[in-house]
Structure 1
């Protein structure tokens, strides 16, 4: 269970944030993890006002479990089979119907925490879902232009009414008829630096090339989607004003756009493929849960 000790955390802008000053609310926080030690402590601390925290892990080998244990989470493990399916599974494990879902590299700022903690939950409209403005950082630099800027993903919803789409990548919550914006921001500490963006996208490109080799559809559609993603991020969303970072972000948008299409096409085939000569890691899987008491 989550304790009542006061704790604090400093965000990247140097603001002192008091998180668990708020009473706990009938909301389940859900987080999926895989080697998420870098920011998980901040992430879980910002969720301290929630009635429970569900962490669904897919085989972490770093300090993720140790960090989670300090925050009194309910810990589950399941092999990773796509972002959408994994988040759907985490939502099913929750004890409350109201779900607050954030990623392991995202941290709620004080404005969001205060707004959620101050809601009249017994009278909350089930048909309403809430978006949170996301501020993305690469290292210490906030990205203010391009397709990473001013994103407003749905993060708070009632699972009786809606939930995550089961896409393997680019998962999102199905918006209800009543969508509102919460004050404050979701601090997204995405990459340590631009070289990490390039390195990870290089691996994604190799995966796309492999999947493309077995697709029935040609590469024209992929090329068009990639070109549009670059144009949209770099020109229409003014990514060019970010300098070199804008170029990298636009190229990342192209990779993500084509990855989604390639993986969707891959899922249409009946048999899974294994790349010759490469080990296919299978994370450990357990059917039960581990509930940790919060440590001082």
Structure 2
């Protein structure tokens, strides 16, 4: 018997990981994939799984793309995965138990970033997001350009099992993603009227490193934890620096128009 839950995934050239992703949810009632133009074997892999439907949608932004995929789901419960993520057996069982108990509306799930091919230490503090929820209780904020979160109108509980994220397969890939994400995040902050500050620009990098390496205990991941924390710190710096850049460009445009 299939698990009465819809899984929705947005993809773009996720063929490297997608088979493992879909195998981890092969016994869910349905899997909805919204692809934005893959040129690899994403479609061929998706079509091998009888519970999976894949269709094309031009890229609308992270929150909007996931909202469109969510709208197609038919089940009362839904699970969101990315095309480079795998559901752990422990979290799968928690999902089954949550559906059967029918007492809460969402699970806040830990994301275990498999950086350079190795998962985090079990003692590292992981980031966590709502990924499993009642379909009629959750939605996305379309103003979030990146790091979109599900907003749940109801009760949530913390899950113990992980979602394994395999996308950070190299330093190059992680840095490239951070460059793209920081561009979007700075634009989002600018549109919301947030102002840059020289003190934050000076302090955000060392403070983020300390938080990542010591408070979140990335030091337990050896040299990979150090490298990851340094990249995280530079990502925080880039977001603030690019916000300054946005304001400089706006001032220049205003002078040119006057």
The reply to whether TM is greater than 0.5 is yes
1:164 alignment partner, one of 130, 134, 140? 140
Query: Residue 85 and residue 140 in structure 1: after superposition, are their counterparts in 2 closer, same or farther (change >3 A)?
Result: same
Name the SS of the counterpart of 2:16 in structure 1.
Answer: coil
Residue 176 (structure 1) shift: 4.4
Offset of residue 99 of structure 1: 1.0
CA distance in 1: counterparts of 2:225 and 2:24, whole angstroms: 30
Q: How far does the alpha carbon of each residue in 1:180-238 deviate from its partner, in whole angstroms, 9 at most, with x for none?
A: 23343222213223343234445666x47x969x9995563555444432232123223
CA drift at 1:43? 0.6
Matches within 5 A, 1:53-72: 53-72=31-50
- CA offset at residue 132 of structure 1? 2.3
Partner of 1:229: 208
Secondary structure at the aligned position of 1:62 is classed as: coil
CA contact (8 A) 2:126 2:216 kept: no
CA separation in 1, counterparts of 2:69 and 2:39? 20
Q: Quote the offset at 1:117 in angstroms.
A: 3.2
SS at match of 1:61: coil
Partner of 2:53: 74
Which of 63, 87, 108 is the aligned partner of 2:66? Answer: 87
Q: Does 1:42 align with 2:20?
A: yes
Of the structure 1 ranges 25-34 and 236-245, higher mean CA displacement relative to structure 2 is found in 236-245
Contact preservation (8 Å) 1:135, 1:149: no
Specify every segment of 5 or more residues in structure 2 that has no aligned partner in the other structure, as ranges.
251-258
CA distance in structure 1 between the aligned counterparts of 2:237 and 2:71, rounded to whole angstroms: 30
Work out the CA distance in 2 between the residues paired with 1:145 and 1:252: 21
Richer in helix (by share): 2
1:104 offset after TM fit, Å? 1.1
* Correspondence for 2:254: none
TM-score by length of 1: 0.68
Q: CA RMSD in A?
A: 3.5
SS in 1 for 2:49: coil
- Rounded Cα–Cα distance in structure 1 between residues aligned with 2:32 and 2:89: 21
Q: Please list every run of 5 or more consecutive structure 1 residues that lacks an aligned counterpart in the other structure.
A: 1-22, 271-296
Q: Give 1:75 shift.
A: 1.5
The alignment's TM-score, normalised by the length of structure 2, stands at 0.76
Cα distance, 1:71 vs structure 2: 1.2
* Distance change >3 Å, CA 259–CA 93, structure 1 → 2: farther
- Alpha-carbon offset, residue 44 of structure 1: 0.9
Residues of 1 paired with 2:172 and 2:37: CA distance?
25
Structure 1 residue 124: Cα displacement: 2.0
